[in-house]
Amino acid sequence: MNDNTSYTGYLAWQFSQAMGARLEKELRTLDLTLAQHSALQRALNTPGVSSADAARGAGITAQSMGAAVNGLVERGLMERRPHATNRRVLCLHITEEGRHLAERARALVGGVNDDALAILSPAERATAHDLLHRLVEHLNPAALPPHT
């Protein structure tokens, strides 16, 4: 029998769906969505990022990111500031309260990650991480931080 589970991409999608559901459930305890978490982390790691770049990095639409950012701005966790040279672009900056929440969320996400990967040995985890990193770099490089 040749079903979808014979495709690595399908299995990766299933894993992504399961992880996304776990992450959403845990992030709800901090009153965050996965998109809001992505926006906070992107603004924390790349101060002044545009909403469009944050959306590309998260793999979601600009409209979805806009809604996520609106909620964060309303809660005082993030600010939109004008771009230095392009008046049409608004840059995202995390507030001090947002920074604290982002750090709590990052720790929570780490716990979900550790729990999900507990079935793998440390060497298997490293291999899986390296392979997924290469695939994301190939398919959605905007999701990764810039090389330093």
Strand partners for 92: 49, 80
Query: Residue 24 belongs to what domain range?
Result: 14-142
Q: What is the pTM of this model?
A: 0.86
Residue 29 in any domain: the answer is yes
Residue 7 in any domain: the answer is no
75-116 per-position pLDDT tens digit: 999 999 988 787 788 899 999 999 999 999 999 999 999 999
pLDDT at residue 89, as a whole number: 80
Residue 3 in any domain: the answer is no
Nearest alpha carbon to residue 56 among 38, 68, 72: 38
Residue 65 in any domain: the answer is yes
What CATH number should be reported for the domain holding residue 68?
Answer: 1.10.10.10
Assigned token pair, 127: 């291999």
Mean pLDDT score of the chain: 91
Cα(131)–Cα(135) distance, rounded to whole angstroms?
Answer: 6
25-44 per-position pLDDT tens digit: 999 999 999 999 999 999 99
Cα(83)–Cα(49) distance, rounded to whole angstroms?
Answer: 9
Residue 1 in any domain: the answer is no
Residue 53 in any domain: the answer is yes
Q: Count the domains in the chain.
A: 1
pLDDT at residue 110, as a whole number: 96
**Structure confidence at residue 140 as a pLDDT band (50, 70, 90):** confident
pLDDT greater at residue 57 or residue 76: 76
CA count, 13 A, side-chain hemisphere, 82: 5
Q: Both ends of the chain: CA-CA distance in Å?
A: 46
